[in-house]
Amino acid sequence: MLWRLDSRAALIADKRPLELKPSDYLKRNLFVTTSGQCDDVPLIAALTALGPDHVMFSVDYPYEDSVTAGRFLDKAAIEAGVRQRIASDNAASLMRLKLS
Protein backbone atom coordinates (compact mmCIF):
# COMPACT_ATOMS: atom_id res chain seq x y z
CA MET A 1 0.00 0.00 0.00
CA LEU A 2 2.94 2.38 0.45
CA TRP A 3 3.48 2.69 -3.30
CA ARG A 4 -0.23 3.30 -3.86
CA LEU A 5 -0.37 6.03 -1.23
CA ASP A 6 2.54 7.79 -2.91
CA SER A 7 1.05 7.44 -6.38
CA ARG A 8 -2.32 8.84 -5.27
CA ALA A 9 -0.68 11.69 -3.38
CA ALA A 10 1.30 12.62 -6.50
CA LEU A 11 -1.99 13.30 -8.28
CA ILE A 12 -2.89 16.08 -5.85
CA ALA A 13 0.60 17.34 -4.98
CA ASP A 14 -0.17 20.78 -6.42
CA LYS A 15 -3.28 21.12 -4.19
CA ARG A 16 -1.89 19.59 -1.02
CA PRO A 17 1.90 19.70 -1.06
CA LEU A 18 3.79 17.56 1.43
CA GLU A 19 7.41 17.85 2.45
CA LEU A 20 7.77 14.07 2.23
CA LYS A 21 5.96 11.27 0.45
CA PRO A 22 3.12 9.70 2.49
CA SER A 23 5.13 6.46 2.68
CA ASP A 24 8.01 8.33 4.30
CA TYR A 25 5.72 9.62 7.06
CA LEU A 26 4.44 6.10 7.67
CA LYS A 27 7.94 4.59 7.67
CA ARG A 28 8.98 7.17 10.24
CA ASN A 29 5.96 6.89 12.56
CA LEU A 30 4.36 3.45 12.13
CA PHE A 31 5.37 0.42 14.16
CA VAL A 32 3.93 -3.06 13.62
CA THR A 33 4.04 -6.31 15.54
CA THR A 34 4.20 -9.93 14.42
CA SER A 35 1.07 -10.58 16.48
CA GLY A 36 -0.41 -13.91 15.43
CA GLN A 37 1.70 -14.20 12.27
CA CYS A 38 4.17 -17.07 12.58
CA ASP A 39 5.24 -17.09 8.95
CA ASP A 40 8.32 -15.69 7.23
CA VAL A 41 6.40 -14.13 4.32
CA PRO A 42 4.51 -11.43 6.29
CA LEU A 43 7.51 -10.87 8.57
CA ILE A 44 9.84 -10.23 5.65
CA ALA A 45 7.21 -8.07 3.95
CA ALA A 46 6.92 -5.90 7.08
CA LEU A 47 10.70 -5.65 7.38
CA THR A 48 11.02 -4.72 3.71
CA ALA A 49 8.26 -2.11 3.86
CA LEU A 50 9.03 -0.45 7.20
CA GLY A 51 12.59 -1.47 8.03
CA PRO A 52 13.95 -3.54 10.91
CA ASP A 53 13.58 -0.72 13.44
CA HIS A 54 9.79 -0.63 13.10
CA VAL A 55 8.84 -4.30 13.56
CA MET A 56 8.36 -5.88 17.00
CA PHE A 57 7.68 -9.40 18.20
CA SER A 58 4.27 -10.14 19.68
CA VAL A 59 2.42 -13.37 20.43
CA ASP A 60 -1.28 -12.38 20.44
CA TYR A 61 -2.02 -14.47 23.53
CA PRO A 62 -4.51 -16.03 24.24
CA TYR A 63 -5.37 -16.47 20.55
CA GLU A 64 -1.96 -17.82 19.58
CA ASP A 65 0.39 -20.14 21.43
CA SER A 66 3.40 -18.46 23.06
CA VAL A 67 5.70 -21.46 22.52
CA THR A 68 4.82 -21.63 18.83
CA ALA A 69 5.41 -17.90 18.39
CA GLY A 70 8.74 -18.06 20.24
CA ARG A 71 9.93 -20.99 18.14
CA PHE A 72 8.94 -19.15 15.00
CA LEU A 73 11.00 -16.11 15.97
CA ASP A 74 13.96 -18.32 16.87
CA LYS A 75 13.94 -19.90 13.39
CA ALA A 76 12.66 -17.03 11.22
CA ALA A 77 14.63 -16.39 8.03
CA ILE A 78 16.26 -13.20 9.32
CA GLU A 79 19.72 -12.23 10.53
CA ALA A 80 20.57 -12.53 14.23
CA GLY A 81 20.87 -8.75 14.66
CA VAL A 82 17.45 -8.17 13.13
CA ARG A 83 16.01 -10.94 15.34
CA GLN A 84 17.39 -9.16 18.43
CA ARG A 85 15.85 -5.86 17.36
CA ILE A 86 12.47 -7.48 16.72
CA ALA A 87 12.60 -9.57 19.90
CA SER A 88 13.30 -6.72 22.32
CA ASP A 89 15.45 -3.79 21.24
CA ASN A 90 12.78 -2.02 19.18
CA ALA A 91 10.14 -2.26 21.91
CA ALA A 92 12.62 -1.09 24.52
CA SER A 93 13.59 1.88 22.39
CA LEU A 94 10.01 2.83 21.50
CA MET A 95 8.85 2.62 25.12
CA ARG A 96 12.08 4.11 26.48
CA LEU A 97 12.81 1.07 28.64
CA LYS A 98 16.20 0.30 30.09
CA LEU A 99 17.10 -3.37 29.70
CA SER A 100 19.68 -4.76 32.04
Catalytic choice (6, 53, 60, 65): 60
Active site residue 74: no
DSSP 76: S
The DSSP result for 2-55, as a single string, is HHHHHHHHHHTTTTS--SS-HHHHHHHH--EE-TT---HHHHHHHHHHH-GGGE
Q: How far apart are CA 60 and CA 93, in angstroms?
A: 21
Active site residues: 60
